[in-house]
Amino acid sequence: MDFRTTDTPLLEWTGDALALGFFEDAVELTGDLASLDEKLSGTLQELIADAEFKGKDGSSAVTRVGGSSPIRKIILMGLGKLESLKLETLRRAAASSARLAKKQRCTTLGIYLPIWNADPAATAGAIAEGIELALHQDNRFKSESEDKGVQLTQIDLLGLGEQSAAIALSQKIIAGTILARELVAAPANALTPIEMAETAQAIAAEFGLQLEILEKAECEQLGMGAFLGVAQASDLPPKFIHLTYTPSGTPRRKLAIVGKGLTFDSGGLNIKVAGSGIEMMKIDMGGAAATLGAAKAIGALKPDVEVHFISAVTENMISGHAMRPGDILKASNGKTIEINNTDAEGRLTLADALVFTEKLGVDAIVDLATLTGACVIALGDDIAGLWSPDDALAADLLQAAEKAGEKVWRMPLEERYFEGLKSPLADMKNTGPRPGGSITAALFLKQFIKETAWAHLDIAGPVWADKEHGYNNVGATGYGVRTLVQWVLGY
């Protein structure tokens, strides 16, 4: 996709489709828009009347321009009320105009949207994000691409001045997001722990990041009994991935991102039954995918912050070697865990990953995990849960998520609920009662952090979209990458 910010006045722009944004109850053709309407022989006025277009958020209308006009199609995009304009509104409007232009077989698209918050750079970046993410199609597993025929190849951003730097920044974030989408969408027979390690290797090579892969024997030496307990039924070797981005000067801060990396979660001996969504469990490395996607973006953006990217990657399988319900495992910090449900495996892999990460001496740790179905019940498909004992870190993450346009809701770390994890034999069980299941999962993770500022994001809902919505297509969303990048850049 070729994005151009052009100084061409609205009236002089020529191309296949021109998309225009309007606020709700302010669909008026004045100034340049009046002149444009005149030039297009009243097409705008007609379309507004025919479609009863009122500028409602998310609405759109499209028509052909008759005669030998230098513009073939007009697209109207509703932006909702002026007072409630968000960057996210513009991302979505840009996405829907690109989808429409593509459907209308257009090659070039001009976009004319209001500037958000007097910030033309952020506006241009958001438009680029909305368009690229909406048009991304994954053809890797088709014998023939379904994306043939006319392609939208050029986007002109009108009225924003020169914004190539802002667009280049967005494109780096988008590349990381698309990597995360592709990792999540890849089935478990195509994306094993080995391919995850190779992906990390490719990022390290491309951007000069440092890579450390701990094989099973090294994990054993470090006493990672919780991670290895999960890994022991798989025929594939577990891979503990640690990528490091180091800035050239003195880092202002040191941060760590940890992702749950189950390339498949069968449930183990507490096997997932029909109707539990077992066929979707290739998505269970969504946290690791966001981690590697963020590594790719950070590697390209080169901020002056040191960032560690960590994932304990394996599958949760069944075999004669499988951990049994009732087994007691010892994690690398010495804590013992009675396994009362082998399907609560993500927290076991994260336990050892968090202990490893805290030893790096970073200022803050954020983990992302498709950890619980309970979080999906609580917050639905669009919103991730956030748990943190640290109010400043929680606030930073909420702000980063708002900027990124990813929805996050802070949840309570209700200490009393840890009673549900008490074990008569071991230090704790791995599963509490069904009520508050996403909270006990977060409390379990907290046992493996001593003193470093830490936050946990449960992304089980937003990692995947069942319906096309905004710039998300059906399938993997790449959720988390954009929030993580904003969080790192915000320091």
Residues with catalytic function: 272, 347
Query: Is the Cβ of residue 178 or residue 329 nearer to Zn ion in the bound state?
Result: 329
The reply on whether position 315 binds Zn ion by CB under 5 A is no
**CB of 437 vs ligand BES, minimal distance in Å:** 5
The reply on whether position 458 binds Mn ion by CB under 5 A is no
Query: Is the Cβ of residue 464 or residue 487 nearer to ligand BES in the bound state?
Result: 464
Contact of 463 with 87, CB cutoff 8 Å = no
d(CA 372, CA 384): 11
Tell me the CA distances in angstroms from 105 to 95, 101, 235, 441, one per residue in order.
Answer: 15, 6, 48, 48
Which amino acid makes up residue 86?
K
Query: Is the Cβ of residue 88 or residue 315 nearer to ligand BES in the bound state?
Result: 315
d(CA 355, CA 89): 40
For Zn ion (CB under 5 A), the number of binding residues is 4
Q: Which does 36 bind (CB under 5 to 8 A by kind): Zn ion, ligand BES, Mn ion, none?
A: none
Q: Which of residues 265-304 bind ligand BES (CB under 6 A)?
A: 265, 277, 284
End-to-end CA distance of the chain: 30
The reply on whether position 315 binds Mn ion by CB under 5 A is no
Residue 335 token pair? 């804590």
Query: Is the Cβ of residue 343 or residue 358 nearer to ligand BES in the bound state?
Result: 343
User: What are residue 366's DSSP bridge partners?
Assistant: 257, 455
Query: Is the Cβ of residue 401 or residue 460 nearer to Zn ion in the bound state?
Result: 460
**CB of 268 vs Mn ion, minimal distance in Å:** 7
Query: Is the Cβ of residue 94 or residue 428 nearer to ligand BES in the bound state?
Result: 428
The reply on whether position 345 binds ligand BES by CB under 6 A is yes
Segment interacting with Zn ion (CB under 5 A) among 20-28, 277-285, 398-406, 473-481: 277-285
Query: Per-residue string for binding with ligand BES, 208-247, x by CB under 6 A?
Result: ----------------------------------------
Q: Which does 341 bind (CB under 5 to 8 A by kind): Zn ion, ligand BES, Mn ion, none?
A: ligand BES
Segment interacting with Mn ion (CB under 5 A) among 252-260, 336-344, 391-399, 409-417: 336-344
Q: Which does 373 bind (CB under 5 to 8 A by kind): Mn ion, ligand BES, Zn ion, none?
A: ligand BES
Give the residue, chosen from 88, 132, 284, 352, that forms a contact with Zn ion under the rule CB under 5 A.
284
Contact of 89 with 130, CB cutoff 8 Å = no
The reply on whether position 338 binds ligand BES by CB under 6 A is no
Q: Which of residues 369-398 bind ligand BES (CB under 6 A)?
A: 370, 372-374, 376
CB-based closest residue to Zn ion: 265
Q: Which does 372 bind (CB under 5 to 8 A by kind): ligand BES, Mn ion, Zn ion, none?
A: ligand BES
Query: Is the Cβ of residue 262 or residue 269 nearer to Zn ion in the bound state?
Result: 262
For Mn ion (CB under 5 A), the number of binding residues is 3
Q: Which of residues 254-273 bind Zn ion (CB under 5 A)?
A: 262, 265
Give the dihedral sign, CA 87/88/90/95.
positive
Which residue ranges make up the site for ligand BES (CB under 6 A)?
265, 277, 284, 341, 343-346, 370, 372-374, 376, 431, 437, 460
Which residue ranges make up the site for Zn ion (CB under 5 A)?
262, 265, 284, 346
